[in-house]
Amino acid sequence: MKKYKAKANANIALIKYWGKENEELIIPNTSSLSLSLEALYTETKVSFIDSDKDKFYLNDQEQAKDELEKISKYIDLFRDLAKNNKRVLVESYNHVPTAAGLASSASAYAALATALDALFETDLSKKDLSIMARRGSGSASRSIYGGIVEWEKGQDYESSFAKKIDNPGLDMAMIIVLVNKNKKSISSRQAMKTTMATSPLYESYINHSKEDLEAIKEAIKNKDFNKVGEITEHNAMQMHATIISSNPPIIYFEEDSIKAINKVRELRTKGIPAYFTMDAGPNVKILIQKSDADKVMEELLKDYKESDLIYSDIASEDASVEVLEC
Ligand code: ADP
Ligand code: DP6
């Protein structure tokens, strides 16, 4: 029997995806841009099983009905594509806290799509893998690639996929400040829907994020780290202002998120370029230059335990798969 094991890195968006034009097909309202992170990843093994149901283990724990149904529905996409109705055993390991705003769904579905493509012998191109990963979770479309990645919104099933952007030599890394590793109380998927339905600022976010995307691509080309950082911070705070203005309000910030943001500002007053971003959760990600990593760590360790900080280089590898003979 053959098992396939795929690995994909998580990614953190500098220009955020928030809201869908088409919920079923996961076509977003905006294009987005991210960095894939080497330190955060998912590894997923898949094999066929002789059963009338799929089986799903996450970090060695068999998953309950709702998670199994969700993943089975996703595997159906590959069963349809391959015209093969066999059931699948999925054994996945997250080297990233699950559902805490650290992009576990991105690395998860990029790894799963890559593994299922090998198992079902669908032989998808990178573009089609990105489309299939997108069907599991929008941000997963970007985790098919290492480096700097743009997910072009597109307008239909075929035209919404991610691609790698050239890095002309910008020196970048990220440090994550773990404010809270627990599962968030409201998923990105649900929060996006509420924001779109109720926030009076939503349209403004969509318009500004288009400008931010063009501006950040220009700053990347010009190797202008400070500009990249300024746009990153502003885009994330526009997204959060929009989320907070939902009705009822959705607040992902915790007291310690603000503390971490203030620490980043303090780094800047000390002459160290550092910029923050946050996703659908309280954890704060700090964009730094890799060449400043030791200095930044030294400063952060004055206020944080080593175990509260994750340093990550930008991943250089794309998602990949290997065969395990059992
Ligand atoms: P996050 O901020 O971690 O991406 P989301 O709410 O967007 O949080 O997504 C978390 C969801 O992604 C989980 O509830 C689960 O359904 C799915 N997920 C996370 N890790 C895996 C995995 N390794 N395999 C399959 N699904 C996963
Ligand atoms: C704030 O990709 O998790 O991290 O497509 O519904 O699965 P679904 O949402 P998801 O949302 C990610 C939101 C974000 C911003 C980003 O990664 O671009």
Q: Token digits for 48?
A: 């066929």
| Region for 101 from its dihedrals, namely left if φ exceeds 0, alpha if ψ lies in -120 to 50, beta otherwise | left
Residue 184 has pLDDT above 80, yes or no: no
Task: List every span in the chain annotated with CATH 3.30.70.890.
Answer: 173-313
Would you say 114 and 129 are in contact if contact means Cβ atoms under 8 Å apart?
A: yes
Tell me which long-range contacts 230-234 makes (C-beta under 8 A, separation of at least 24). Answer: 230/275, 231/14, 231/15, 232/14, 232/15, 232/275, 232/277, 232/287, 233/275, 233/276, 233/277
Q: Is 137 close to ligand 2, i.e. is its CB under 6 Å away?
A: yes
Q: Token digits for 94?
A: 């997250």
**Confidence grade of residue 182 (pLDDT, cut at 50, 70, 90):** confident
Q: Is 320 helix (H, G, I), strand (E, B) or coil?
A: strand
- Within 8 A by CB and 6+ apart from 58, the residues are 67, 92, 93, 94, 98
- Looking at residue 325, what is its pLDDT? 74
Q: Is 187 close to ligand 1, i.e. is its CB under 6 Å away?
A: yes
- For the stretch 128-168, pLDDT in tens is 999 999 999 999 999 999 999 999 999 999 999 999 999 99
- Ligand 2 atom with the shortest distance to the CA of 239: 1
- Looking at residue 132, what is its pLDDT? 98
Euclidean distance between CA atoms 5 and 236, whole angstroms: 34
Nearest CA residue ID for atom 4, ligand 1:
103
- Looking at residue 98, what is its pLDDT? 78
At CA 242, angle to CA 239 and CA 244, rounded to 5?
110
Task: List every span in the chain annotated with CATH 3.30.230.10.
Answer: 2-167
Cα(100) to centroid of ligand 1, in Å? Answer: 9
Cα(278) to centroid of ligand 2, in Å? Answer: 12
Cα(67) to centroid of ligand 1, in Å? Answer: 9
Q: How far is CA 230 from CA 14, 33, 186, 296, in A?
A: 10, 15, 28, 18
Q: Is 279 close to ligand 2, i.e. is its CB under 6 Å away?
A: yes
Q: Which ligand is nearest to the CA of 181?
A: 1
- For the stretch 269-309, pLDDT in tens is 999 999 999 999 999 999 999 999 999 999 999 999 999 99
**Confidence grade of residue 97 (pLDDT, cut at 50, 70, 90):** confident
Run of H or E including 33: strand 32-49
- Looking at residue 88, what is its pLDDT? 98
Query: To 10 degrees, the CA torsion angle through 47, 138, 188, 8?
Result: 50
- Looking at residue 96, what is its pLDDT? 87
- Looking at residue 181, what is its pLDDT? 84
Would you say 111 and 8 are in contact if contact means Cβ atoms under 8 Å apart?
A: yes
- For the stretch 225-261, pLDDT in tens is 999 999 999 999 999 999 999 999 999 999 999 999 9
Q: Token digits for 313?
A: 């280089």
Task: Give the right CATH number for 173-313 from 3.20.20.60, 3.30.70.890, 1.20.1050.10, 3.90.1150.10.
Answer: 3.30.70.890
DSSP-assigned states of every residue in 204-248:
HHHHHHHHHHHHHHHHHHTT-HHHHHHHHHHHHHHHHHHHHTSSS
Q: Is 11 close to ligand 1, i.e. is its CB under 6 Å away?
A: no
Residue 206 has pLDDT above 90, yes or no: yes
Average per-residue pLDDT for the chain: 96
**Confidence grade of residue 207 (pLDDT, cut at 50, 70, 90):** very high
Would you say 130 and 158 are in contact if contact means Cβ atoms under 8 Å apart?
A: no
Nearest CA residue ID for atom 7, ligand 2:
137
- Looking at residue 1, what is its pLDDT? 79
Q: What is the pTM of this model?
A: 0.97
- Looking at residue 103, what is its pLDDT? 81
Q: Which architecture does CATH list for 2-167? A: 2-Layer Sandwich (3.30)
- For the stretch 41-63, pLDDT in tens is 999 999 999 999 999 999 999 99
Cα 214 off chain centre by: 20
Pairing status of strand 309-313 against strand 320-325: unpaired
Mutate to test the pocket of ligand 2, among 104, 141, 188, 250 (most ligand atoms within 8 A of CB): 188
Q: Is 283 close to ligand 1, i.e. is its CB under 6 Å away?
A: no
Q: Which ligand is nearest to the CA of 100?
A: 1
Pairing status of strand 55-58 against strand 87-95: parallel
Q: Pick from 16, 8, 17: which is nearest to 40 by CA?
A: 8
Q: Is 108 close to ligand 1, i.e. is its CB under 6 Å away?
A: yes
Percent of the chain, pLDDT > 90?
94
Partners of residue 7 on adjacent β-strands: 43, 320
Cα(188) to centroid of ligand 2, in Å? Answer: 6
